[in-house]
C-alpha cells in the first residue's frame, strides 16, 4: 500500500500540479494527521459532510467511506478532473467548483436534508489559511444547522478561536466563536506534514455548535459591534475604547453603565466575559 506522501506526489506528477500559493494550497501528506481529523469529526453513517477545499482529495477519500454524502467545494478548476477521476465510483460524492465564501450553504443543506434523509451536517476541512477567519465567521454567523466544524488552521489563529473569553489569547473573534460554539483544540501539526510546507505550525480544532447561545442578549449584532469597538483600541481601557468609538456618548455615561454592572472603570477589553458584554449591551439599550 502506498503512503499518502507517495500518493500525493504521484497525483501531482500525473496531472502536472504545482501548489498554488495564492489559493493557500498546502497538501496534507501525513497519515496520522488525516486520521486525527477524521476521528475528531466523529462522522456517522447518516451524516452529510461538507468539505471545504478538497484539493487533491486526500481527506475526501476517508470522508467518503464514513458519511452518507460528501459535498466537496473547491475553487481551483485544476482540481476538478483529479477529484472526478478519483471518486467517480462513489455515488455519495458531489463536487462544486465554487468559492466557499459565495456558496449559499443554507440552501444547499436544506436541499440535502429534504432529499437525502440526513441526520447531522458536519464541516470538515484543511482550510486555505488566507481566508480562515472569513470562512469560520461565515459558517457561524449564517446560523446554519450544523452539528460541528472540524478544521485545520494556523496554530496562532486556532489558539485565539478556542480561548475562553476573559482568559489568555482573547481577541474579538474569541467572543463570537464562544457565543456560537464550544471549541476545543485537537492536535498540533508541524509544518513538515504538508507539501509545500507552510511557514507556520497548524492545529486541528473542533467547534461543536451550541443548540442555544450561551448568553441572553437582546440584540446580538449590537453586542458584537460593542466587542469589535472595544478591541479596535485594545491597549486602552474598555471605557476609553468605547467612548472613542462613540459607543458611549461620553465618559460619564460610560462610567454610569460600568458601575451599574459592578465593573471596574479601568477594566481592559480582554478581561470581560461574554456575559459582561451581553450585560453592557442589554443595559446600553436603556441609555440610548
Ligand atoms: N484538503 C486538501 C489537503 O488537505 O491536502 C487541500 C487543503 S489546502 C490547505 C486548501 C484548499 O482550499 C486548496 O485545494 C485550495 O485550492 C482550496 N481553496 C482555496 N480558496 C478556496 C475558496 N475560496 N473556496 C473553496 N476552496 C478554496
Structural contact between residues 243 and 256, judged by C-beta atoms closer than 8 angstroms = no
Percent of the chain with pLDDT over 90: 93
Strands annotated E in 40-147: 48-52, 69-73, 93-96, 121-126
23 lines ligand 1 (CB under 6 A): yes
89 CA to middle of ligand 1, Å?
22
Residues facing residue 184 across a β-bridge: 206
Q: What SS3 state is found at 47? A: coil
Q: What is the mean pLDDT of the chain?
A: 95
Q: What SS3 state is found at 128? A: coil
Expressed in angstroms, the distance from the first to the final Cα of the chain is 67
- What are the residues whose beta carbons fall under 8 Å from the beta carbon of 230, sequence distance 6 or more? 172, 238, 241, 242, 269, 272, 277
pLDDT digits (tens, 9 = 90+) for 87-129: 999 999 999 999 999 999 999 999 999 988 899 999 999 999 9
- 11, three cell numbers: 497525483
Per-residue pLDDT, averaged over 241-246, amounts to 95
For residue 167, what pLDDT is reported? Answer: 85
Confidence of residue 1 (pLDDT cuts 50, 70, 90): low
CA-125 nearest atom, ligand 1: 1
71 lines ligand 1 (CB under 6 A): no
For residue 288, what pLDDT is reported? Answer: 67
CA–CA dist 197, 192 (Å, integer): 6
Per-residue pLDDT, averaged over 25-50, amounts to 97
21 CA to middle of ligand 1, Å?
10
For residue 85, what pLDDT is reported? Answer: 97
Q: Which of 55, 56, 82, 123 to mutate to test the pocket of ligand 1 (most atoms within 8 A of CB)?
A: 55
62 CA to middle of ligand 1, Å?
17
DSSP-derived secondary structure letter, 148? E
Per-residue pLDDT, averaged over 138-158, amounts to 97
CA–CA dist 52, 79 (Å, integer): 13
pLDDT at 284 over 90: no
pLDDT digits (tens, 9 = 90+) for 3-16: 999 999 999 999 99
Per-residue pLDDT, averaged over 27-46, amounts to 97
- 10, three cell numbers: 504521484
pLDDT digits (tens, 9 = 90+) for 160-172: 999 999 887 889 9
- 171, three cell numbers: 481577541
pLDDT digits (tens, 9 = 90+) for 58-91: 999 999 999 999 999 999 999 999 999 999 999 9
Q: Give me the residue label for grid cell 497538501.
A: 27
pLDDT at 286 over 90: no
For residue 33, what pLDDT is reported? Answer: 97
169 CA to middle of ligand 1, Å?
27
Residues facing residue 154 across a β-bridge: 202
Amino acid at each position: 500500500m502506498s503512503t499518502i506522501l507517495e500518493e500525493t506526489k504521484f497525483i501531482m506528477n500525473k496531472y502536472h500540479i504545482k501548489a498554488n500559493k495564492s489559493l493557500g494550497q498546502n497538501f496534507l501528506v501525513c497519515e496520522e494527521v488525516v486520521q486525527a481529523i477524521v476521528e475528531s469529526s466523529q462522522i456517522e453513517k447518516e451524516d452529510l459532510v461538507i468539505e471545504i477545499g478538497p484539493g487533491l482529495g486526500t481527506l475526501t477519500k476517508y470522508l467518503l467511506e464514513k458519511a452518507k454524502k460528501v459535498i466537496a467545494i473547491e475553487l481551483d478548476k485544476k482540481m476538478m478532473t483529479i477529484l472526478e477521476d478519483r471518486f467517480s465510483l462513489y455515488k455519495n460524492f458531489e463536487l462544486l467548483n465554487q468559492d466557499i465564501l459565495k456558496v449559499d450553504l443554507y440552501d444547499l443543506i436544506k436541499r440535502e436534508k429534504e432529499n437525502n434523509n440526513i441526520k447531522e451536517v458536519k464541516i470538515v476541512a484543511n482550510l486555505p489559511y488566507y481566508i480562515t477567519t472569513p470562512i469560520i465567521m461565515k459558517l457561524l454567523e449564517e446560523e446554519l444547522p450544523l452539528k460541528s466544524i472540524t478544521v485545520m488552521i494556523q496554530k496562532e489563529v486556532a489558539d485565539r478561536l478556542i480561548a475562553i473569553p476573559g482568559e489568555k489569547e482573547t481577541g474579538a473573534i474569541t467572543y463570537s466563536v464562544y457565543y456560537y460554539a464550544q471549541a476545543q483544540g485537537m492536535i498540533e501539526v508541524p509544518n513538515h506534514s504538508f507539501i509545500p510546507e507552510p511557514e507556520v505550525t497548524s492545529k486541528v480544532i473542533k467547534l461543536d455548535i451550541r443548540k442555544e447561545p450561551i448568553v441572553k442578549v437582546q440584540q446580538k449584532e449590537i453586542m458584537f459591534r460593542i466587542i469589535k469597538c472595544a478591541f479596535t483600541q485594545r491597549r486602552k481601557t474598555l471605557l476609553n475604547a468605547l467612548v472613542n468609538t462613540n459607543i458611549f456618548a461620553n465618559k460619564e455615561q460610560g462610567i454610569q453603565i460600568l458601575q451599574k454592572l459592578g465593573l471596574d472603570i479601568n477594566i481592559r477589553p480582554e478581561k470581560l466575559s461574554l456575559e459582561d458584554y451581553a450585560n453592557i449591551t442589554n443595559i446600553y439599550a436603556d441609555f440610548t
